[in-house]
């Protein structure tokens, strides 16, 4: 697909292309700014220069938000006891189905996953084993879980997050299409119009492999200490924050700059001609995605264009071509071993210097005797 400015170029007005691009960007910028009015905005939106994942230099929309929704309180996730009803717990997504995480669901895990090793509750009291401290939630929410943190219903409370934590999104105003669709795990799917991250699929194999369950609340979100509250499903919680189009309401913008619409069209039907990333173009609307089914654990299956940046450090220029993975991985964690090797220190030294999340880079760099830039680069942060 040609970008609008390329089309204008072919029409023989190359000199005017820069002006046309600027006005297209300005219109797009206004549209996005209007959408994000319900987000907890800390800085921006502003128009900045940026470098996308494929190396394209372009104009981006940059916005800094707090990773907490303005319109509701997240949770609940884990029920307290196996007698609790569905109201006391969130949801779990499995095989395209949405399951209520009630006490009975927790009690039935061994049956549900046909594995008798599941034991998420105290057989004598019926109390559910919940990660009810910061230490436990940090310990259990990792790909490699210490045995002491196995057999837990994992939830991290909003209160564990640094009050000043912000997330900065830098998203192209005019998408630059790629030939091979890109994996959303590199940077996430996008940003919902309430300022909450639309994440890549949750790493369900890691979670279940450790005999942990990390439920989502009824809005499809849960808390990760690195990126705060984020979504793994686009639910009707996002309907009222967005605008209606003939193709359902717009729920957010993807990291590649295309808009993400609700799963279904206004008449309740499913768009018929979606590509492998869940997107299409219609006579009325330019290319856009429709969010994946709630139970699919994939808001987007892939990205069709070069993506921008997600950063926990505000004000840093986006160069998405430099690093893959760490900056984006919602539930993943940076590759500390590789970072330590790059810095010439042991992983232990690095972990101690970084301290409890969120990491204090200035202090850690001082402790390790390296520059903040070197540390951030080693950690693969844009």
Which residues here bind Zn ion, judged by CB under 5 A?
Answer: 202, 247, 271, 331
Q: How far is the CB of 351 from Zn ion (least distance, A)?
A: 22
Residue nearest to Zn ion as judged by C-beta position: 247
Q: Nearer Cβ to Zn ion, position 124 or 267?
A: 267
- Residue whose structure tokens are 């921006």: 44
| DSSP state at residue 78 | S
If phi > 0 it is left, if psi is from -120 to 50 it is alpha, else beta; for residue 201 that is: beta
Q: How far is the CB of 248 from Zn ion (least distance, A)?
A: 7
Q: Nearer Cβ to Zn ion, position 28 or 376?
A: 28
Q: Nearer Cβ to Zn ion, position 78 or 202?
A: 202
Q: Nearer Cβ to Zn ion, position 12 or 268?
A: 268
Residues in the chain: 382
Residues 105, 118 contacting (CB under 8 angstroms): no
Cα 1 to the center of its chain, rounded Å: 27
Q: Kind and range of the H or E element at 212? A: strand 212-213
d(C-alpha 380, C-alpha 382), whole Å: 6
Helices 347-354 and 336-343 sit at what angle, rounded to 10 degrees? 100
Q: Nearer Cβ to Zn ion, position 62 or 288?
A: 288
Degrees (nearest 5) of the Cα angle 362, 365, 369? 140
Q: How far is the CB of 330 from Zn ion (least distance, A)?
A: 5
Q: How far is the CB of 280 from Zn ion (least distance, A)?
A: 6
Q: How far is the CB of 245 from Zn ion (least distance, A)?
A: 8
Helices 361-368 and 347-354 sit at what angle, rounded to 10 degrees? 140
Q: How far is the CB of 265 from Zn ion (least distance, A)?
A: 7
Six token digits for residue 136: 């436990």
Q: How far is the CB of 201 from Zn ion (least distance, A)?
A: 9
Query: Whose CA is closest to 79, among 136, 141, 129?
Result: 129
Determine if the peptide bond prior to 346 is cis (ω within 30°): no
Q: Nearer Cβ to Zn ion, position 54 or 271?
A: 271
d(C-alpha 292, C-alpha 274), whole Å: 11
Q: Nearer Cβ to Zn ion, position 306 or 331?
A: 331
């Amino acid at each position: 697909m040609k970008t609008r400015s390329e089309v204008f170029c072919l029409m023989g007005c190359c000199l005017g292309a820069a002006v046309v691009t600027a006005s297209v960007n300005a219109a797009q910028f206004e549209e996005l700014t209007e959408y994000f009015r319900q987000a907890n905005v800390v800085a921006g939106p502003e128009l900045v220069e940026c470098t996308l994942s494929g190396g394209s230099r372009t104009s981006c929309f940059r916005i800094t938000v707090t990773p907490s929704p303005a319109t509701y309180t997240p949770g609940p996730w884990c029920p307290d006891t196996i007698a609790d009803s569905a109201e006391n717990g969130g949801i779990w997504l499995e095989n395209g189905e949405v399951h209520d995480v009630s006490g009975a669901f927790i009690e039935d895990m061994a049956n549900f996953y046909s594995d008798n090793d599941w034991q998420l509750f105290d057989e004598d009291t019926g109390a559910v084993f919940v990660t009810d401290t910061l230490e436990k939630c940090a310990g259990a929410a990792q790909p490699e879980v210490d045995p002491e943190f196995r057999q837990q219903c994992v939830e991290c409370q909003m209160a564990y997050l640094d009050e000043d934590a912000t997330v900065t999104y830098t998203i192209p105003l005019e998408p630059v299409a790629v030939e091979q669709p890109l994996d959303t795990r590199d940077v996430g799917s996008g940003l919902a119009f309430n300022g909450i991250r639309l994440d890549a699929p949750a790493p369900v194999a890691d979670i279940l492999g450790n005999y942990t369950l990390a439920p989502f609340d009824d809005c499809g979100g849960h808390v990760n200490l690195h990126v705060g509250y984020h979504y793994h499903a686009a639910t009707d919680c996002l309907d009222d924050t967005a605008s209606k189009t003939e193709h359902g309401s717009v729920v957010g913008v993807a990291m590649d700059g295309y808009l993400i619409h609700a799963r279904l069209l206004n008449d309740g039907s499913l768009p018929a001609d979606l590509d492998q990333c869940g997107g299409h173009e219609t006579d009325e609307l330019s290319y856009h995605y429709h969010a994946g089914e709630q139970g699919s654990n994939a808001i987007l299956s892939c990205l069709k264009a070069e993506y921008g940046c997600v950063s926990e450090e505000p004000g840093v220029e986006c160069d998405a071509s430099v690093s893959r993975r760490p900056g984006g991985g919602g539930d993943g964690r940076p590759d500390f071993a590789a970072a330590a090797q790059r810095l010439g220190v042991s992983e232990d030294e690095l972990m101690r210097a970084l301290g409890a999340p969120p990491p204090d880079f200035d202090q850690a760099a001082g402790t390790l005797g390296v520059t903040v830039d070197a540390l951030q680069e080693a950690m693969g942060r844009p």
